[in-house]
Amino acid sequence: MATGVKTRIKLPASAARGGVVTIKTQITHIMENGHRRDGNGNLIPRAIIHRFTCDFEGENLVDLKMGPSISTNPYFKFDARLPYDSPSEGLFEFKWHDDDGSIYGDVRTILIT
Amino acid sequence: MGLASATVLGRIAMAGSESEELSQFTGGAAISEGGVEIDIASFVEDGHSVPIIVRADGAEAIGLFALLNPTPELAIIRFTRLSATRAMSTKIRLAASQDVIAVARMGDGTFRRATKHVSVALGGCNV
């Protein structure tokens, strides 16, 4: 597991049913692309986050497959629409999949009015 | 610089045709122009972190490509019914001045595309 990994998520505290919620996410990760060489001329092995997912109340919202051309500390901003049958507290679940098999997760709840 | 140039030239020499690079995503289907927007600077100092917004209303998925990068497929974004917009903002690496291509798979199974040229002053060497 990579060290010093930290996730950041920004979204509003509350929103209306049927409304739009803009979500910003970032994870601290070097995204070692596998093409660089160390001081001895040896290739540094690829070590990236290769998949990011966001679910809302157990249903997938966005599923992003990425390669080594996504910048260090992958950042994503996207929009969710809260279904009309959402509960009064909705759960967003975020997952980042590392090449080394680690899955970094984070959650946020939003008040739904 | 010499090494970087050689790498980029090697990449150009080795690069498959554009249709080959995109066909993993499209399955070889025809791609029509329009209906996809790429918001990215036309000139950037540093290729290591270039902000980009891609949007294609009605898309189920969007593939982002930069054919002169060592790994041309940047990302494949899959949207769902919970997506309020079919738009994504992120930051990408660009190894050299080149076209950035976005291909959208629409709800009806057709494919659409947009292309934006980006000039990169400091090629993100080895990105």
Q: How many Cβ pairs within 8 Å bridge chains A and B? A: 102
Distance in Å, alpha carbon of A23 to nearest chain B alpha carbon: 10
The helix or strand, by DSSP H or E, that contains position B40, with its residue range, turns out to be strand B37-40
Is the predicted pLDDT of residue B104 greater than 80, yes or no? yes
Is the predicted pLDDT of residue B103 greater than 90, yes or no? yes
> Is B83–A74 a contact, with Cβ atoms under 8 angstroms apart?
no
Chain B residue nearest residue A35, CA to CA: B126
Distance in Å, alpha carbon of B69 to nearest chain A alpha carbon: 8
Chain A residue nearest residue B79, CA to CA: A62
Q: Mind listing the pLDDT tens digit for each residue in B15-39?
A: 556 767 899 999 999 999 999 999 9
User: Which segments within A1-113 are labelled E, that is strand?
Assistant: 7-10, 14-15, 20-27, 49-56, 59-66, 75-81, 89-98, 103-112
How far apart CA B9 and CA B12 sit, in angstroms, is: 5
A37-41, A71-75, B41-45 — which is least confidently predicted? A37-41
How far apart CA A77 and CA B42 sit, in angstroms, is: 21
> Is B88–A75 a contact, with Cβ atoms under 8 angstroms apart?
no
Supply the pTM of this predicted model: 0.90
B1: confidence class by pLDDT, cuts 50, 70, 90: very low
B124: confidence class by pLDDT, cuts 50, 70, 90: low
